[in-house]
A and B are shown apart, each in its own frame.
Chain A
Amino acid sequence: MTQGDRQVRSGPGRLLVAVYGVFALAATSRAGVQIATKFAEAPLAYLLSAFAGIVYIVLTVALARNNRRLALVACAIELAGVLIVGTLSLVDSQAFPDATVWSGFGSGYGFVPLVLPVFGLIWLLRRRPAS
């Protein structure tokens, strides 16, 4: 295999960069608006929203710069985040009056936030560098 075949950003990886880029923008701006205008209503939810945005930004940059290790870590955090926040939002809906990207396992975004890290992990793990 050539060097290019080992890159995590080309081929299907480019699709991931595009989708993560959109989510980075969407989640970060949503959290920004929420924190700026009504932070006191649900501080926990809005902080998690911002955290999700940061994770998406890190993933977009890591993938785009071919940083496979960082992308793997961020992807694992993303999967853990969507599972934990998804569960919490169902158990304690009072703490999450306003939806975040990850609440309800990403139901407000067509469950893409739940599916995305799975595809991301599969893609990254299949691109293990030749030892």
Chain B
Amino acid sequence: MTAAYSGWIIAAALLLALAGIVTAVRDKSMGVVLLAGLALLEVALLVQAGIALAGLDHVRNKATFIGYLAGTLVIPPAAVWWGMAERTRWGPGVIAVAGFTVAVMTGRLMQIWNGAA
């Protein structure tokens, strides 16, 4: 993992969370923008997971690291599923939570990667 790449993921996830909040405030359900954003985020997270797993020897606390890694991969699809099921402003609300969670989890991944407990 590199700080530059994961930094971009954190920024993108936060941007997506912001888009979710804006959509919820405007009282709209999930549209193409949020859907595409979640898809792009998932692709970026898959790449990050690939990079991270390739350098797994680097990590001391492997179980926690893989747990967070798997968590980030599961969240965007779950958010898409709920965005489609909940056709009110609360669908994008869930997407906002998902974006924020991915950002926090990626931050934790960086910390573990860099040797923090």
Interface string of B10-48 (1 = CB under 8 A from A): 000000000000000000000000000000000000000
Indicate whether A22 reaches chain B with its CB closer than 8 angstroms: yes
Contacts of A13 in B (CB 8 A): 90
Interface string of A3-42 (1 = CB under 8 A from B): 0000000111111001100100100010001000000000
Which of A11, A18, A29, A33 is within 8 Å of B97, CB to CB? A18
Interface string of B61-78 (1 = CB under 8 A from A): 001100100010000000
Closest to A11 in B: B90
Known: A22-B101, A25-B71. A15 touches B64 (CB 8 A): no
Known: A19-B97, A22-B97, A25-B71. A14 touches B64 (CB 8 A): no
Q: Are A29 and B90 in contact (CB under 8 A)?
A: no
Q: Are A18 and B71 in contact (CB under 8 A)?
A: no
Do most interface residues of chain B lie in helix, strand or loop, or is the interface mixed? helix
Q: Are B82 and A14 in contact (CB under 8 A)?
A: yes
Q: Are B63 and A15 in contact (CB under 8 A)?
A: no
Contacts of B101 in A (CB 8 A): 22
Known: A11-B88, A14-B86. A29 touches B94 (CB 8 A): no
Closest to A13 in B: B90
Contacts of B94 in A (CB 8 A): 14-15, 18
Assembly CA distance A67 to B97 (angstroms)? 23
B48 to chain A, nearest CB (A): 19
Contacts of A18 in B (CB 8 A): 82, 94, 97-98
Q: Are A29 and B93 in contact (CB under 8 A)?
A: no
Q: Are A15 and B90 in contact (CB under 8 A)?
A: yes
Q: Are B64 and A12 in contact (CB under 8 A)?
A: no
Known: A18-B82, A33-B63. A12 touches B90 (CB 8 A): yes
Interchain residue pairs with CB less than 8 A apart (11): A10-B86, A10-B90, A11-B88, A12-B90, A14-B91, A15-B93, A15-B94, A18-B94, A22-B97, A25-B71, A33-B64
Interface residues of B (CB under 8 A from A): 63-64, 67, 71, 82, 86, 88, 90-91, 93-94, 97-98, 101
